[in-house]
Amino acid sequence: MSIVIRQARQLYYKVISIEIVLLLILFCSITFFYSMGTGLSFLVGCLASLLPHCLFVYWIFFRQSTKNTNKMTAFYRGEGLKWLLTIVLIVVAFKSYPTMNFVAFFVGYFFMLLCNSLLPILLKLRAK
CA–CA distance, 114 with 49 (Å, rounded to integer)? 10
Query: Mind listing the pLDDT tens digit of every residue in the chain (128 residues)?
Result: 578 778 888 999 999 999 999 999 999 999 999 999 999 999 999 999 999 999 998 888 777 665 656 777 878 888 999 999 999 999 999 999 989 999 999 999 999 999 999 999 999 998 87
pTM listed for this prediction:
0.88
Report the alpha-carbon distance of residue 12 to residue 61 in Å, rounded: 9
